[in-house]
Structure formats: C-alpha cells, structure tokens
Structure 1
Amino acid sequence: MALISVVRDYIGRMLQDISGMKVLVLDSQTVSIVSVAYSQSELLQKEVFLVERVDSVLTEPMAHLKAVYFLRPTSENIQHLRRQLASPRFGEYHLFFSNILKITQIQVLADSDDQEVVQQVQEFFADFIAIDPHHFSLNLQMNHMYMLPAVIDPPTSQSFCDRAVDGIAAVFLALKRRPVIRYQRTSDIAKRIAQEAAKIMYEQESGLFDFRRTETSPILLVIDRRDDPVTPLLNQWTYQAMVHELIGIQDNRVDLRQIGKVSKDQQEVVLSSEQDVFFKANMYENFGDLGMNIKRMVDDFQHIAKSNQNIQTIEDMAKFVDNYPEYRKMHGNVSKHVALVTEMSRIVEERKLMLVSQIEQELACNGGQGAAFEAVMKLLNDESISDIDRLRLVMLYALRYEKESPVQLMQLFNKLASRSAKYKSGLVQFLLKQAGIDKRTGDLYGNRDLLNIARNMARGLKGVENVYTQHQPLLFQIMESITKGRLKDIDYPFVGNHFQQGRPQEVVIFIVGGTTYEEARTMALYNATNSGTRFVLGGTAVLNSKRFIKDLEEAQRIARSSSTI
C-alpha cells in the first residue's frame, strides 16, 4: 500500500518504454503529481529534456522530440489536445491519462488525429499527490467548499465532490482494490462523496474494479475535517509538521526566499522522505532531538570537509574528484536543514510559541476551565503575541468550553476584537457553527466515553514525555476503533449492502477538508507498531493553521453573501 512506489512505477513505465529524446507535457495538477514522485535528475536519466504545460501557447515545431502527455482527463485538457493534434509540433504523441477516460473523450482524440501522430492512449491511475508512502493529497484550491451546503454554489460543490471521488477511485485502482465504504453519519459532504465513490466502484466501472478477492475487503472511511477542528489549529513540534506550520510545504517543496541569508540554490528546497535520508530519519522527531541530530550531521560534514582540505598527492585529488558529487550533495543537505531549523527557531522566539503552545496543549488535552480562561486572557493582553496566535487560542478555548462558560467566552470574543486588527468579526462563532460539539460525531476530548476517560486518566498518571506533543488527533481513536472492531455502525454507516466481516487488513481514511502532518505522523507511527492492519491517509488538502483559518474565512464570506447559514 505504499503510494509513492505505485506512482513512481507508473511514471517510470510511461517514460522508459519510449526511446530517445522526449518532452513531458503536463497540466497544473499532474505537475504536482510528477514533481513529488520524481526528481529533475531522474527525469533527465529517462531522456526527458523538456517539461511543458499543456495550456502553454508555444508553437515552435520540434519534430525530433517524442511527446509524452500525462494529463487529467478533463474536458479542458481534451480540448487542448484536440487543438494541438490538429497542428502537431512533435514527431510522436504518447498520451497517458491519470484517471478513467470516457468513450466520448477517446472518440474526440481519434477524430482529431488526422496526421496519425498518436502512438498510444493509456490510463495510468495516478490522480493524487503521493506526499509520503502512506499519505496523499488532492491539493484542492477550493477546499473551503466542504463547509458550505451544496445549494449555495451547486456547480462548484459538484466539481469539489467530483475531484474528491476521482482521486479516491484512482487510489484504489492504483492499489488494485475494491473497498467496502463507510462514512461519517453527521456529515452530508462525507456521505455524498462516499455514495458517489460506491456508484463508480460497484456500478458504473464495476469491471475495472473487479480485482481478485482478498480474505477481508479493504475499507474506505470518509470523514469530515470538522469532526476534529483542534488538530489543524495547534502549533507543531515535530520536524515535518513544524516546517509546514511555520514556513509552509507545497508538493514537498519549501520556499525560503523570504529568509534573509540563503544562497541562490537554497531558495526552494525539497523535503522528501524518498530523496533525503536525513529527513526520512528525522521527519517525526521533536524539535529538541532534531537540533541534536542536526548538530551531529554538521560535525560529520565538517570532518569530511577537513579531510578534503588535506589534498597532497595526485591520488588524493583523484579521490576528491570522484567523491565530489556526493560531497556537494551532502553540503547542500546540511545547508538546507540548518537554514530550516535556524528560521524556525527565530519564529518560535519571535512569536513566543513555546509559551503559546503550552496553553494550546492544555486547552486541547486537559480540563480546568477557570485556569484556561485566565491563561488565554493573559496572552490576549500580551503585546508580543501575534494576531493569528491570539485567534487560535480563542478558537481552541471556544471549542473546548463553548457550553460551560458563555459569559467568559463573550469576554474573550470582545477582547480578541479589540486587540487583533486582523480578526474577522464572528469567525470564532462561525467555527462553532461548523464544528461545535453539537456537530461532531467523535469523542474529541475523550470525555464522553468511559473507555476514553480511562485512557486519558492513564495517560495523565503516566505523564507525557513532552508537554508540547501530548495532543493526540481524533484519528488515533478512529484507527484504534477500526482495528478492534469497535467503530460504531450507527456513527459510521456502510454504503449499500456491502459490509465488512472480520478485522480489515487495509484501510484508507479520507478526510474531506484536509489532513495534517500531525495526523500523517500518528498514522505512520501506528502502522510501525501495529501489525495486521495497514492504514493510508488522504484528503482534499494538507492543512496548517493558516490554511484552515483561510478556508474558514472564505466559507464565512460566501455564507454571509448568500445568507443561508
């Protein structure tokens, strides 16, 4: 169930069977799919000398090149292809699509190929961005749509659902599985996506999904981000999650141009567990341990650099030249990780994030409403706390204590509005309408269910290794419930008449509204320590607190203009 290897295999097969110099033509979404799975040097090794966008308006003929198109099968892409086949620039056209082609689309392509330059048309089901082996995203720009009823904007709502269903279908086609499907009962959008996915897998394209039966069927569980609004609001203290929260990761790339002193070749760096051994070993490490490990890496590099300065003989020189590419790569890697950790340390200090995060973790994990109110109010009055941190603290307090202290909650709303220029009026109230206790299915704070209360008490008695990483996403409870056969049918019903018997061996959990790197870490650690059931995590986007709040603001803006929420 390792998604990166599946996507790499598709791209490798696309390129290696076509000999000679090639141009790779992509669309706005397949650019992300390819760039996350394959490095530029690997593309060069496959004789790809040029990468173009299908919507570019280039007209220069290049008959000496073979064109490999890898596109999503959208009507827009089919029209681009139709026009380009009418006046071919390349010697050969090899067409690969990331998902299921309609018969009508194949007919359009056949009718357009008057000059018979198309050599092949194939479906390679890589219609998702494989960030890590067990974590994928669809990078949906209109991610806020999951918070809005379909009646507000039916066309956009439908295209949001369609894209989610396409991505899910491609994942299961790539894995050669047909799952039984469950969804979160309280979420209309999760139910809709689950039902439309079932329609494709069991009705419209049942032949494509007719794979060899396994002893127990895999499960697809579709849930709603609003069931756990706490996780994307928290500061993070493990490497991958922290980089995304404080700087931002897009398609495994980090933009460092805003940082003062970085060399030209370090302005955009790659953070990939497939391409960077140090990152793979440290992506889930906490900030303290990470600092120690980076120091060790710097010491090792300095030792190698020192030995390279002692070049005295021709043999020494020849050895250095042979090892130079590896030396340069190591130099780049050291510079990259040092730059990232230095910048994150600066932000932590500037925004007093250790102080802020301690209160966040208390709000997310422990009781005590009176002390929590005093702590949040104190930080709202602190001039050095940033607007976004004030907003997140009030949101976390409101989610925890919305029913317990309406008067004090109103005091915090008023204080926030007076202290933070960027605070959008009513945004916290909108969050409670979307994801308050009356809307949630799961036991977010572990205080509804006796088993969860006992578990929380046990954790409290044992103590937590790190006060900044004590939070556990709701996803962990869901995974435990699945592996132990305790996921309630009434809360997470099955679609249709397809039920699961016995303990599942493979589960894909898809979060409508987006995943977080904290959840990806939780799943990776769960997979590493629990045999029997393998989990894959996917979602419509990868969130940090900034993106989650931006989606909230956009949904609030649309809701206000339509006056239906």
Structure 2
Amino acid sequence: MVLVSAVRDYINRMLQDISGMKVLILDSHTVSIVSVAYSQSELLQKEVFLVELVDSISKSNESMSHLKAVFFLRPTSENIQHLRRQLASPRFGEYHLFFSNLLKDTQIHILADSDEQEVVQQVQEFYADFVAIDTYHFTLNVPSNHIYMLPAVVDPSNLQHFCDRVVDGIAAIFLALKRRPIIRYQRTSDIAKRIAQETAKLMYQQESGLFDFRRTEISPLLLVVDRRDDPVTPLLNQWTYQAMVHELIGIQDNKVDLRNIGKLPQDQQEVVLSSEQDAFFKANMYENFGDIGMNIKQLVDEFQQIAKSNQNIQTIEDMAKFVDNYPEYRKMQGNVSKHVTLVTEMSKIVEERKLMLVSQTEQDLACNGGQVTAFEAVTNLLNNERISDIDRLRLVMLYALRYEKESPVQLMQLFNKLASQSPKYKPGLVQFLLKQAGVDKRTGDLYGNRDLLNIARNMARGLKGIENVYTQHQPLLFQTMESISKGRLKDVDYPFVGNHFQQGSIDTSPCHYATHGAWSWTRGTLRKTIAC
C-alpha cells in the first residue's frame, strides 16, 4: 500500500498525538484525500466526533471551546483567509493546522499575525496533496483536465492555475515517497514540457534542500505525457471489472453512485469500491467480465452457506458465537449485495447498447488492418438502430484515427452518416480530434506499424492467436513502460529536463515516515524544520 500508506501515515500522525475530542476540518480537496484512505469508524477511534468543511465552519459563530480543531487544508489563498477569520475570533479550544503542501512565507506571516490569542498549537506541512485511489494510482481530481492539452482555447491564467496544481501534486507525491526523480517529457506536447520544466525548477532550484534525499540505487523517473499520444484507449469499451464500473456507471473517490439505477435500500445507493477495503474487489478488479459472473456466483454460494449455518442456532454458545460474528456477517452480506447489483446493472447496459458487438469492431479498428472490412463493419453498426449515439461517435473516431490518410472519401461518407443518424454529435468533433491527436501530432508508434520491433511483435501476437478478442488491445503506455524498463525510450522523443542524476549516497536511512515540514512562531519570529 505504497501511496495509501503514505496518506494514512500522515492522517495518523495528525490525529494520534492530539488527545481528547476533536473536530476535523477539511476543504473540498482534502475531504477526498481523507475519505479514500480513512473510514468513518477509524476517525471515531481517533476521537474525531465531527467532520466539517472549512467554508461551512467559517459561516458559523457557535462556540465549541471543548473541542480541539484539526485543520487539514490545501495551502490556497482562500483557505488562508478562512483561517485568518477563524483565528481573529477563535471558536475552538486549540487549533492544529496541517497543510497538504508547501506554504508560502507570506501565508505563514498572515497566520502568525492573526494568532493574537495564541490558540495555534502547531503548523505543519504534511505532503498528501493527492487522492490515493489504490496502492499505485492517484488522481488530482482536476475537472475537465483534457481541455488543458489545448492551450490555444484556454485562458492563460487558468492554464497557469492548472500547471501549478499539477506541479503541486507531483511534488507532494515525491516528498511523501522521499524521492527526487529524473524528469522527462513528451516532445510534441507544450503542456507536458511546461509541467516538466516547472517541476524541475521546483525540485532542483527553488526547494532543492527539501528534495535533497539520499538517492536510491535506481533513480525514479517522472515521465510527463498527455493523452494526445494515445487517443485510442479511452475510446474503447473496457472489459475488466474496475474499468467497466468506471466506464458504464462511474467511480469518484472510490465511491459508486447507484441512485439512478432503480429502487435500492438506502445503504446501497452509494457504495465503496476500494481494493484496500474489499477483498473480493481486490482479487477481481482486473479480471475479465466473463470471469466475474462465475466468481460472484462463488461468493454468493459461500455467503449462503454462512447464512444457513447461522440459522441453526440451538444453544447459548451458538447464539454468542453468532453475535460475535455478526459485524463480519453484515459486512459480507453488504459486499455480496453490492457486487451482485453492480454486475447485474452492467449486464443490462451491455445488452441494451449491444456493447459486445460494438467492442469487437472497436478492437479490430485498434489492432488489425484492413480498411475495406473496417469501413463495412462501421457502416453496418451506424445503420443499426440498437447502437447508441455515443458508441456511433466512438466508432467513427476510431476509424478516422486509423485511416485518416488512407480513405478520405469513405471518411467523409461516415461523417455524413453520423450527422444524419446522431445529429447531436457534430462531425466537427471527429475533425477536431484529428486536428489535435492525428498522426501528425503523435509521438509514439500508436498502431505498431512504423517500428520494426513493433511490427514483429504484432506478427507474433497474430500467429499465437488472441485469447480474448474483446481485450486484445494494449495501450501505448504499455509499450512506453516496456521501453523504459529496457532503456530504449528515445531521448529525441522524450527529452530530459533538469539534473539527470541525483547526488549523494545510497539511501540507508532508518526513517520509515514520509517527509513533513513544521512551522513555529514565537512573538513574530518564524522557524521551519524539515523532518521524516
């Protein structure tokens, strides 16, 4: 649990050393950070009896001097102003301030000047400025972030705000993991280059002391790319459990909203889908949809056996045993209901949208040649009334990406058919996609037909046969990672930025904690210390 452990460690250290009743105060970003790593019951065990958002706390004047306030906020100007107003008229007995990233000197001065009643007990930087959705993956929850790949259509101030947020998140990741990376970026992407350069400037110049970790035997690599290098993968329907839930229903902060799929009990209208809290999901999140049904049947059978044994309560000892095991029984019951509901709903969607039929053509467009056959298959699906508008659009986009240079006449025919059959999706969307992510804009060998190694690999896969036609596509990122592991990533396509090598000895530090920074002030004198 590399990323999740880092966040949990920060939260533990926020709460465990502050005794007594506490209120945890978060902002719209840190509430996601905490919710995916920590459960409500765990917060209660740390004597957190109230969780509030900072903007709602600011609107209330109710005194809660019996509570100790633990603030965990992003160091934004808005949050600093919330705290300034709080400190001017304190409502809590103590204030413990934790920030998810680096504080500016001006922000510390504002807080120090506002603490006239000396209620602030501590100010610390805990670098958990990312949402750790599982062991190895995180998100920054930046809405509509695809638009920032197109700087020409974005206001410059918004673009800078986006870059700052991404750089902050990247910095927090490497501070939490106590690493300073080698940095490379996608040559054809202006936004990737900008983020890479600003990250390098922060790590190697502005905060070089903070990132001066002892180096590891192999230096980590930060590779900054944007989606335009591989526009195909997000257009394909997915067939593994986690990906299907995300694609067909939606996952946000490891929660799935089921309120729109029918009448469900109150406790099942929003369910948690986390590999850290759900053993069945952890074991099956990457399994193919065809295997999930059998695995869920096995889960149901196991639960039925447990339920049957609980019905045979005949003695006081049996009853005591059942009561002791009841929380686990209830948890298993909820888990079974959750997964049965999810798979049932997804099966309905697959049938209604004829996704197996659609997906086979999508995979052919992504993985196999044959323009004439592809054109005929896409045309037939566009004529099929059971195919949804969004799937029609995706099929035309996939065809356009594959054959933009080979069949302009046929492509125009598909544009016209799409406009007549799905009028709300303008053909201009496909043309815009080609303009932004067409063959002239891409760095990598997306279809494996330019590089001799990729051609040989595709031939070998074809000779061996495809085990599952619905999952034969491999994202370009897979090939990129393979090239990195073998030292074959081309410098000309993915240049370096900043220092290529870290100085120092191999890391032998006994410290197991993530990095943090602590601020303190006494009569206006500020001091900062960095520790692990």
TM-score in terms of structure 1 length? 0.87
Deviation at 1:393, TM superposition (A): 0.5
Kindly tell me the number of residue pairs found equivalent between the two proteins.
Answer: 502
CA contact (8 A) 2:416 2:427 kept: no
State the match for 2:457 in structure 1: 455
Alignment of 1:443-522 (within 5 A): 443-498=445-500
Equivalents in 1 of 2:179, 2:353: separation in Å? 47
Equivalents in 2 of 1:294, 1:214: separation in Å? 42
CA contact (8 A) 1:23 1:66 kept: yes
Equivalents in 1 of 2:170, 2:39: separation in Å? 25
Q: Which structure 2 residue ranges, 5 or more long, are not aligned?
A: 508-532
State the match for 1:544 in structure 2: none
State the match for 1:227 in structure 2: 229
Equivalents in 2 of 1:132, 1:295: separation in Å? 26
* Residue identity matched to 1:43: L
RMSD: 1.4
Deviation at 1:499, TM superposition (A): 5.3
Alignment of 1:118-197 (within 5 A): 118-149=120-151, 152-197=154-199
Deviation at 1:425, TM superposition (A): 4.2
CA contact (8 A) 1:183 1:191 kept: yes
CA contact (8 A) 1:239 1:290 kept: yes
Deviation at 1:88, TM superposition (A): 1.1
Larger CA deviation: 419-428 vs 236-245: 419-428
* Residue identity matched to 1:407: V
Bigger radius of gyration: 2
Larger CA deviation: 203-212 vs 214-223: 214-223
Equivalents in 2 of 1:58, 1:293: separation in Å? 50
Alignment of 1:331-410 (within 5 A): 331-410=333-412
Q: Helix, strand or coil: the match of 1:95?
A: strand
* Residue identity matched to 1:26: L
* Residue identity matched to 2:6: V
The question of 1:53 aligning with 2:53 is answered yes
After superposition, the Cα gap between the structure-2 partners of 1:228 and 1:134, relative to the gap in structure 1 and judged at 3 Å, is: same
* Residue identity matched to 1:220: L
State the match for 2:513 in structure 1: none
Equivalents in 2 of 1:10, 1:137: separation in Å? 18
Deviation at 1:178, TM superposition (A): 0.7
Identify which of 409, 415, 419 aligns with 1:417: 419
Equivalents in 2 of 1:35, 1:108: separation in Å? 29
Alignment of 1:10-409 (within 5 A): 10-56=10-56, 57-149=59-151, 152-409=154-411
Equivalents in 2 of 1:36, 1:215: separation in Å? 32
Equivalents in 2 of 1:20, 1:497: separation in Å? 47
Deviation at 1:42, TM superposition (A): 1.2
Equivalents in 1 of 2:428, 2:331: separation in Å? 50
Equivalents in 2 of 1:141, 1:17: separation in Å? 35
CA contact (8 A) 2:400 2:430 kept: yes
Equivalents in 2 of 1:313, 1:238: separation in Å? 45
Alignment of 1:537-548 (within 5 A): none
Q: Helix, strand or coil: the match of 2:224?
A: strand
CA contact (8 A) 1:239 1:284 kept: yes
CA contact (8 A) 2:149 2:226 kept: no
Equivalents in 2 of 1:414, 1:305: separation in Å? 58
Once superposed, which parts of structure 1, at least 4 consecutive aligned residues long, lie more than 3 Å away?
Answer: none
Q: Helix, strand or coil: the match of 2:293?
A: helix
Q: Which structure 1 residue ranges, 5 or more long, are not aligned?
A: 506-565
Deviation at 1:147, TM superposition (A): 2.6
* Residue identity matched to 2:436: Q
TM-score in terms of structure 2 length? 0.93
Q: Helix, strand or coil: the match of 2:225?
A: strand
Equivalents in 1 of 2:173, 2:84: separation in Å? 28
Deviation at 1:204, TM superposition (A): 0.3
Deviation at 1:500, TM superposition (A): 8.9
CA contact (8 A) 2:444 2:476 kept: yes
CA contact (8 A) 1:8 1:37 kept: yes
Deviation at 1:20, TM superposition (A): 1.1
Equivalents in 1 of 2:24, 2:247: separation in Å? 33
* Residue identity matched to 1:458: A
Equivalents in 1 of 2:147, 2:454: separation in Å? 32
Equivalents in 2 of 1:410, 1:481: separation in Å? 37
State the match for 2:528 in structure 1: none
State the match for 2:517 in structure 1: none
* Residue identity matched to 1:216: I
CA contact (8 A) 1:68 1:95 kept: yes
Larger CA deviation: 213-222 vs 28-37: 213-222
* Residue identity matched to 1:93: Y
* Residue identity matched to 1:217: S
Equivalents in 2 of 1:34, 1:477: separation in Å? 34
Equivalents in 1 of 2:173, 2:412: separation in Å? 45
CA contact (8 A) 1:145 1:160 kept: no
Equivalents in 1 of 2:89, 2:384: separation in Å? 65
Q: Helix, strand or coil: the match of 1:298?
A: helix
Q: Using the aligned pairs only, state the percent identity.
A: 86
CA contact (8 A) 1:361 1:468 kept: yes
* Residue identity matched to 1:37: A
CA contact (8 A) 1:262 1:339 kept: no
Equivalents in 1 of 2:397, 2:439: separation in Å? 13
* Residue identity matched to 1:215: E
The C-alpha deviation readout for 1:243-263, integer Å capped at 9, x for no partner, is 000000000000000111321
State the match for 2:442 in structure 1: 440
* Residue identity matched to 2:402: R
After superposition, the Cα gap between the structure-2 partners of 1:300 and 1:497, relative to the gap in structure 1 and judged at 3 Å, is: closer
Equivalents in 1 of 2:309, 2:3: separation in Å? 41
Equivalents in 2 of 1:461, 1:5: separation in Å? 43
After superposition, the Cα gap between the structure-2 partners of 1:348 and 1:436, relative to the gap in structure 1 and judged at 3 Å, is: same
CA contact (8 A) 1:216 1:500 kept: no
Deviation at 1:211, TM superposition (A): 0.4
Equivalents in 1 of 2:230, 2:459: separation in Å? 21
Q: Helix, strand or coil: the match of 1:269?
A: strand
Equivalents in 1 of 2:354, 2:441: separation in Å? 33
CA contact (8 A) 1:150 1:157 kept: no
Equivalents in 2 of 1:489, 1:500: separation in Å? 19
Equivalents in 2 of 1:424, 1:190: separation in Å? 29
* Residue identity matched to 1:451: L
CA contact (8 A) 2:127 2:172 kept: yes
* Residue identity matched to 1:24: L
